[in-house]
Amino acid sequence: MPELPEVETVMRGLAARLEGRVITRALVNRPDLRWPLPPTLAARLTGARVLGFRRRAKYILMRLDGGDSVMIHLGMSGRMLIGPNRPNQDTAHEHIVLETDEGWRVGFVDPRRFGSVDLVPTAEEDAHRLLADLGPEPLGEDFTVASLTAALDGKRTPIKSALLDQRNVAGLGNIYVCEALYRAKISPLRSSHTIAGARARRLVPEIKATLAEAIAAGGSSLRDYVQPDGELGYFQHAWKVYGRENEPCPSCPGGAACGGIRRITQAGRSTFHCPSVQR
DNA sequence: CAAGAATCCTGTCAGC
DNA sequence: TGCTGACAGGATTCTT
């Protein structure tokens, strides 16, 4: 379930427990996830000290001493389990396990295996093929009305699809695109190039606010970002439209005026929207 | 080049 | 209950 806010929260949780620690043991339980895992991964992790973390789009970068970074993507079903160092009850999909010098254990669980893990020289993180073509960070100062307008210039693809394209803006997923478009009162069907102007001036702040609020909710709803069962970084959200097909639109008084929230399919993904509010 | 479809994989849930 | 099909928060690769 990870989009940018979840990835950010997971990263902060990992940082709280791993930063400055030495990885005393590393298990890599299969040769591949989405792509082959580096054959040297377990050896490279074992004995390494964790220097720090950062996030780029939905990727977590864990910096090790010795000059390498571990690049982690959670895919659709990736999760991190963190807890005292004892065996996990459900190990069927626990593909990677780390143990630290403080006696903690971190497991990467990913049933669908759409996630990925790779090694990259720290100095060349952003040149990695998976990062090289990413657009600006939506919460960064590089993501502006001007940058979004330029990215969408001349594009006739629906704005919903354009916002999911990581080259235009990096880190948005299906949920937050639906929510941000709703908050900005923009139809997901609208042609991208028509977003320029007033609509872009509404959309950019709503994207930033939607993400920032979700990150804040994640940080505040979890102690140390770890739930009692060891699950790291996920939290309940109050979506206004996502997953609310046929429910009343919160912005339409009485709900009856617009007939409720609709679900449509765009480029194979579900879009939730209110046709009355979003134009 | 742009846009949509197919694809990787497993789990869950609704409906019969 | 058991079966079936739809669907899932991603992103690359393949077609058109």
Sheet holding A68-73, edge to edge: A50-56, A59-64, A68-73, A116-121
Q: What value does the mean pLDDT of chain A take?
A: 89
Are the C-beta atoms of residues A104 and A84 closer than 8 Å to each other? yes
From the candidates A56, A58, A202, A244, which is the catalytic residue?
Answer: A58
Residue A118 CA to residue A222 CA, distance in Å, equals 28
Q: Where are the domains of chain A?
A: 4-127, 145-273
Amino acid A276 CA to nucleotide B5 C1' distance, rounded Å? 30
Q: A232 near A109, Cβ under 8 Å? A: no
A269 CB inside 7 Å of strand C:
yes
Active-site annotation holds for A3:
yes
pLDDT, tens digit (0-9, with 9 covering 90-100), for A73-109: 999 889 898 888 777 666 789 999 999 999 999 999 9
Q: Is A196 helix (H, G, I), strand (E, B) or coil?
A: coil
Compute the C-alpha angle A184/A173/A117, nearest 5°. Answer: 155
A160 is catalytic: no
- The CATH H-level (homologous superfamily) assignment of domain A4-127 is MutM-like, N-terminal (3.20.190.10)
Question: In chain A, how many H helices and how many E strands?
Answer: 6, 10
Is nucleic acid strand C under 7 Å from A34's C-beta? yes
A113 CA: nearest nucleotide by C1': B9
Strand B and A161 CB separated by under 7 Å: yes
- Report which residue type is found at A94: E
CB A270 within 8 A of CB A51: no
Is A230 buried (19+), middle (13-18) or exposed (0-12) by CB count in 10 A? middle
Q: Is A269 a catalytic residue?
A: yes
A180, A200 contact by CB (below 8 A): no
Residue A242, CA: closest nucleotide via C1'?
Answer: C9
Tell me which nucleotides of strand C come within 7 A of a protein CB: 7-12
User: What pLDDT score was predicted for residue A159?
Assistant: 94
Average pLDDT over residues A203-228: 78
Q: pTM value?
A: 0.94
The CB density around residue A65, as the number of other CB atoms within 10 Å, is: 12
Question: Across residues A162-176, what is the average pLDDT?
Answer: 93
Give the H/E segment covering residue A16. helix A4-18
Percent of chain A with pLDDT over 70: 90
Catalytic member of A3, A6, A8, A179: A3
**Position A236 pLDDT exceeds 60:** yes
Does residue A23 surpass a pLDDT of 90? yes
pLDDT of A2 reads 83
Q: Which nucleotides of B are covered by protein (CB under 7 A)?
A: 2-11
Torsion on CA atoms A174, A176, A178, A183, rounded to nearest 10: -170
Q: Residue A239 CA to nucleotide B16 C1', Å?
A: 31
Comparing A253 with A92, which gets the higher pLDDT? A92
Residue bearing tokens 């930063």: A19
A128-143 burial string, b = 16+ CB within 10 Å, else e? bebbeebbbbbbeeeb
Q: What are the b/e assignments for A183-216, b being 16+ CB within 10 Å?
A: bbbbbbbbebeebbeebbebbbebbeebbeebbe
Does residue A114 reach within 7 angstroms of strand B, measured from its CB? yes
Tokens of A259: 């007939």
| Selected residue with higher pLDDT from A71 and A1 | A71
DSSP A248: P
CA of A197 to C1' of B11 (A): 43
Lowest mean pLDDT among A126-135, A167-176, A180-189, A254-263: A254-263
Concerning whether A105 is annotated as a catalytic residue, the answer is: no
Q: Which of A44, A208, A269, A275 is catalytic?
A: A269
pLDDT digits (tens, 9 = 90+) for A120-144: 999 999 999 899 999 999 999 999 9
Tell me which residue has tokens 């009856």. A256
Q: What is the per-residue pLDDT for A229?
A: 62
Q: Which fold has domain A145-273?
A: Helicase, Ruva Protein; domain 3 (1.10.8)
- What value does the mean pLDDT take over residues A45-73? 96
Q: Return phi, psi of residue A36, to 5°.
A: -55, 140
CA distance A150 to A210: 22
